[in-house]
Chain A
Amino acid sequence: GAVVSQHPSWVICKSGTSVKIECRSLDFQATTMFWYRQFPKQSLMLMATSNEGSKATYEQGVEKDKFLINHASLTLSTLTVTSAHPEDSSFYICSASGVEDTQYFGPGTRLTVL
């Protein structure tokens, strides 16, 4: 089946620094990638949708200048949390879809901002 990886799986950073999270589709070309955020014991909330070579579409209430998304190739999308603060601590999950009609999810990245 389709495999999606994320790197790193967890990261701890100081407040004010920026953190980049990678999402890769390992065995298929992902024309669309999604970024979700999940707080403890809560559901996934869609942050943005990105299509390869285009600007990401952000959901209402998500700061696009804070959460920078790049989808430069058909196998890689990155989420950069700029000037991270403790309230940005969360579990970030990406998903990817290609020619199939299914989103495949990555294992997630746990971000802790001190």
Chain B
Amino acid sequence: AQSVTQPDIHITVSEGASLELRCNYSYGATPYLFWYVQSPGQGLQLLLKYFSGDTLVQGIKGFEAEFKRSQSSFNLRKPSVHWSDAAEYFCAVAAGPGGYNKLIFGAGTRLAVHP
């Protein structure tokens, strides 16, 4: 069965510091991987996705993620965090790339940013 693990429930970083949010997935076939961000009381916004090809994918808001098949990981990174990045981040896996494939979400990582 598909599953996603986000080991860090809560992370605090200083503004301007680098960020890495961890995500590990379990899936028998080729995974389709996503990172979403959710601001308080809001829906989810897609940051980036990986389907195939280059294992380093660029997203919006200066985020990137690297797919490592050997480690079953898809960690999210940002070189310099801004206060506006404080939010909840969800990693998700799907069986296929199409929008009709259901997403399996991790538990989320709440990011706090200190000034």
Contacts and interface: CB of A to CB of B under 8 A. Distances in A.
Contacts, number: 58
Contact of A102 (B43, B49, B106): B49
A97 B99 contact: yes
Contacts of A31: 100
Interface residues of A, number: 29
A110 interface: yes
Given A32-B100, A101-B98, A43 B90 contact: yes
B14 interface: no
Given A4-B43, A93-B43, A107-B43, A102 B102 contact: no
Given A42-B107, A43-B106, A44-B90, A97 B42 contact: no
A108 to B, nearest CB: 5
- Tier of interface size on chain B: 20 to 34
A32 B99 contact: yes
9 contacts: A31-B100, A41-B110, A49-B100, A95-B44, A100-B99, A102-B46, A102-B99, A103-B46, A107-B43
